[in-house]
Amino acid sequence: GISNIWTDEYQPTPEDSKSVIWHHGKTAEIKVGNEEIGFLGEISNKVRDSYKIKGTAVLFDIDFEKLSRAASEEHEYRPISRFPAAIRDIAVLIPREIRMAEVLNKIESEGGDLVRDVDLFDIYEGEELPEGKKNLAFHIIFQSGDKTLSSEEVDEPQEKIIKALEKEPQWQVRKQ
């Protein structure tokens, strides 16, 4: 929906913060290209408890001048394809210090022309995972502007993506 359009354009990137105000692993810079235009994060339990805040609390800061400049830039128009998209999910177990953008860039660069979009839909860090690891799950949207893709035509770039991810020594593609 709207949030997918927003994150495609403005790309929040997970950032670890050393400040005690933030919940570890639940902060992000908001960037347009390589320029930071804002920051958001979940408030830590310690801070919420000290202010007697019940439930989750999130803060954000956006430089509206930078946002306005970015919004007024020209955007490339790409017509919507008449052909259906194929969506595949992929999960990757990686070291906690690896940035989501690094994995996303690898998926996009290896997927070829049929990859229309890649969306992060889950970040998991929990007891079931090996120490120092996190799991990232992505929707990969494949689509052609010329025809309906067969399953085999989607399998080929997906396998290329998987092989590229598995070449990274500490990355593991999780099979369902």
Tell me phi and psi for residue 45, to 5 degrees. Answer: -60, -40
Q: Mark whether 29 and 102 lie in a shared domain.
A: no
Q: List the domain range (segments joined by +) for residue 168.
A: 86-174
DSSP for 127-157, please give it. TTSPTTEEEEEEEEEE--SSSPPPHHHHHHH
Q: Higher model confidence: residue 116 or residue 176? A: 116
pLDDT of residue 1: 38
Q: Assess whether 90 and 169 both reside in one domain.
A: yes
Q: How many CA atoms lie within 13 A of 151 on its CB side?
A: 0
Mark whether 48 and 94 lie in a shared domain: no
> Could you tell me if 59 and 103 lie in one domain?
no
Mean predicted confidence (pLDDT) in 113-130: 92
Specify whether 39 is located in the same domain as 112: no
- Indicate the Cα dihedral angle 41, 133, 55, 52, nearest 10°: -80
Mean pLDDT for the chain overall: 85
What mean pLDDT comes out for the span 47-74?
86
CA–CA gap between residue 147 and residue 162 (Å, rounded): 24
Residue 46 inside a domain? The answer is yes
Residue 88 has pLDDT above 90, yes or no: yes
pLDDT in tens, 124-171: 998 899 999 999 999 999 999 999 999 999 999 999 999 999 999 999
- Tell me, yes or no, whether 145 lies in a domain: yes
Domain count of the chain? 2
- Whether 95 and 41 share a structural domain: no
Look up residue 63 and give its DSSP letter: -
Residues 159 and 91 both lie in one domain? yes
What integer pLDDT is reported at residue 137 of this predicted model? 96
Instruction: Tell me if the pTM is above 0.85.
Output: no
